[in-house]
Amino acid sequence: MKFFIDTANLAQIKEANDLGILDGVTTNPSLMAKEGIKGEAAIMQHYETICELVDGDISAEVLGTSFEGIIEEGKKLAAIHPNIVVKVPMIKDGIKAIKWFTDNGIKTNCTLVFSAGQAILAAKAGASYVSPFIGRIDDSGWDGMQLIAQIASIYQIQGFKTEILAASIRNANHIIACAEAGADVITSPLESILGLLKHPLTDIGLAKFLEDAKKMG
Ligand code: E4P
């Protein structure tokens, strides 16, 4: 399972990358706005900086919602760096655009996916990644992990090549459950990735080893 970090914060991207386990980055307009990135030039520059920091797929989301607008923006984003993946919302024009990008050799991430039907459409259009938002599904009283397992089963039966990129991760347990449910990739805030490190018995055991190490001279 690949690990992506879900942020536009450069310090957090660096910290995750320094762990040596990072395979890519996802961003969205909310995450970019949180970092104060404003205007086309600044947006393009920020994606370029992320591409220089991390050697892996970097999702850059389009802001337009018409077929023509998505294509125009996506072409500009894809021209920034070969690792850019154009992130396109799950709407009718988005599906048309994903098919166009697929036919023109541009990688895509179909975002805002909340159902198996949407995931089938994204795969039919040839999306490189499909992003089911598990945390937001859980928040609304449904089971995000069940959706990951359902999409994994459908893609396997049908032989779809689209990778399942589990998004909207809220904690370390989500990451573990995604691995069990068959996600190809998780995209997660840094905190949830670091949460995988934690176990109280590790802390107790290490404290004891360090104490006994002193006796060894
Ligand atoms: C997906 O790529 C999105 O950027 C993200 O995972 C959404 O997460 P949120 O529900 O925490 O905003």
Hey, which residues does 132 pair with through a beta bridge?
Answer: 113
Residue 186 CA to ligand 1 center (angstroms) comes to 11
Q: pTM of this prediction? A: 0.96
Q: CB within 6 Å of ligand 1 — which residues?
A: 6, 26, 28, 111, 131, 133, 135-136, 167-168, 187
Which DSSP state fits 215?
Answer: H
Arithmetic mean of pLDDT, 176-194:
98
CB atoms within 10 A of CB 150: 17
- Taking the CA atoms of 134, 8, 173 and 24 in sequence, report the sign of the dihedral they define: positive
Query: Two tokens at 34?
Result: 């949180």
User: What radius of gyration, in Å, describes the C-alpha atoms of the chain?
Assistant: 19
Which residue's alpha carbon is nearest to atom 11 within ligand 1? 168
Instruction: Please choose, from the candidates 34, 13, 33, 36, the residue with its C-alpha nearest in 3D space to the C-alpha of residue 25.
Output: 13
Residues designated as active site: 87
Q: What pLDDT digit, counting tens, does each position of 22-72 carry?
A: 999 999 999 999 999 999 999 999 999 999 999 999 999 999 999 999 999
Which residue's alpha carbon is nearest to atom 5 within ligand 1? 168
Residue 206 CA to ligand 1 center (angstroms) comes to 35
Q: What pLDDT digit, counting tens, does each position of 64-102 carry?
A: 999 999 999 999 999 999 999 999 999 999 999 999 999
For 185, the 3-state DSSP assignment is strand
The amino acid at residue 159 is G
| Atom number, ligand 1, closest to the C-alpha of residue 167 | 6
CA 62, CA 100: separation in Å to the nearest integer? Answer: 14
Q: What pLDDT digit, counting tens, does each position of 128-162 carry?
A: 999 999 999 999 999 999 999 999 999 999 999 99
CB neighbour list of residue 214: distance below 8 Å, 6 or more residues apart:
none
